[in-house]
Amino acid sequence: MRRTAAVLALLAASVPARVDADGPPPSPTTLPERGAQFVLEDKVVRMGVGYRDALDAALTKKLENGLPTVIAMRGYVFRDGGPDPIALTARSCRIVYDLWDEVFRIQLVQPGGQSSVVAVNVEGVMRNCCETKKMPLVDRALLADGVRYFVAAIVEVNPVSQQMLNSIKRWVTRPNGQGPIGPGDSLFGSFVGLFVARINSADKTIAFRTQTFLPPDPPPPP
């Protein structure tokens, strides 16, 4: 009996701790930070940021099995020191490997509408689905001069919630594809609800925040 108890105790000690064992982070400011680029174009602040770490080696290998893989990203704009997001941008990327033609067929849903892209290798998938370049973030008029902001993002690979994916599609296919968000919007929620990765809610979830930034000024007149 003592030996059995000792073996069970050893096995229990070897089980990995749950990722949420320490509880949710207290605020979006505590998320790991990564660099992003913010520019002003057509009166809209646009963001460039990468999240290639959303696809690890195991998920990358699964891309070629012919089954769909979906990568969904939501970026919430916070005023530095503010408790709730003031604006939202989002995109989703559905990838299917065409076993006959040996290419990846990608359907992108992002601000401005939907598009279809073909990638010949995993690098092409990464460029299209795990990076943003000048992605519309928020109308410049919504940001106050001299105030710092940051973006907190959550990226899910094969999210369970089809409702969330439908909400993203409705949000980004509006005329401007991004904008202010409030409690009445389906993608709004508390910090805990938005950024805590729940066990088994997706194949993989990552969350991060950008550095703080001042709203970019309009370019000087010609």
Tens-digit pLDDT profile for residues 154-199? 899 998 677 777 777 776 776 555 566 665 555 656 555 665 545 4
User: What stretches of the chain show up as alpha helix (H) in DSSP?
Assistant: 2-14, 57-62, 122-129, 162-172, 191-195
Please give the torsion angle defined by the CA atoms of residues 101, 103, 104 and 105, in that order, rounded to the nearest 10 degrees: -50
Q: What is the C-alpha to C-alpha distance for residues 130 and 124, in angstroms, rounded to an integer? A: 10
- Greater confidence (7 vs 98) lies with 98
Looking at residues 191-220, what average pLDDT do you find? 75
Q: What is the C-alpha to C-alpha distance for residues 87 and 44, in angstroms, rounded to an integer? A: 12
Q: What is the C-alpha to C-alpha distance for residues 20 and 196, in angstroms, rounded to an integer? A: 8
Q: What is the C-alpha to C-alpha distance for residues 10 and 158, in angstroms, rounded to an integer? A: 34
Q: What is the pLDDT of residue 184?
A: 57
Q: What is the pLDDT of residue 25?
A: 56
Q: Is 151 exposed, middle or buried (0-12, 13-18, 19+ CB in 10 A)?
A: buried
Phi, psi (degrees; rounded to nearest 5) at 101:
-90, -10
- Greater confidence (152 vs 188) lies with 152
Nearest to 36 by CA among 142, 115, 113, 149: 149
Sign of the torsion angle spanned by Cα atoms 27, 48, 45, 87: negative
Checking if the pLDDT of 49 tops 80, the result is yes
Among the residue ranges 26-30, 48-52, 95-99, the one predicted with the least confidence is 26-30
Q: What is the pLDDT of residue 193?
A: 62
- Quickly state the pLDDT bin for 111 (edges 50, 70, 90): confident
| Size (the chain), residues | 222
Contact in structure between 51 and 57 (CB atoms under 8 Å)? no
Residue 16, both tokens: 């990995």
Residue 93, both tokens: 């990327």
pLDDT in tens, 69-106: 999 998 999 999 888 888 888 899 999 999 999 999 99
Specify the DSSP element, H or E, that contains 159. Answer: none
Model-level pTM greater than 0.85?
no
- Specify the residue for token string 């938005």: 194
Residue 147, both tokens: 């105030």
Q: What is the pLDDT of residue 94?
A: 94
Residue 125, both tokens: 């998938």
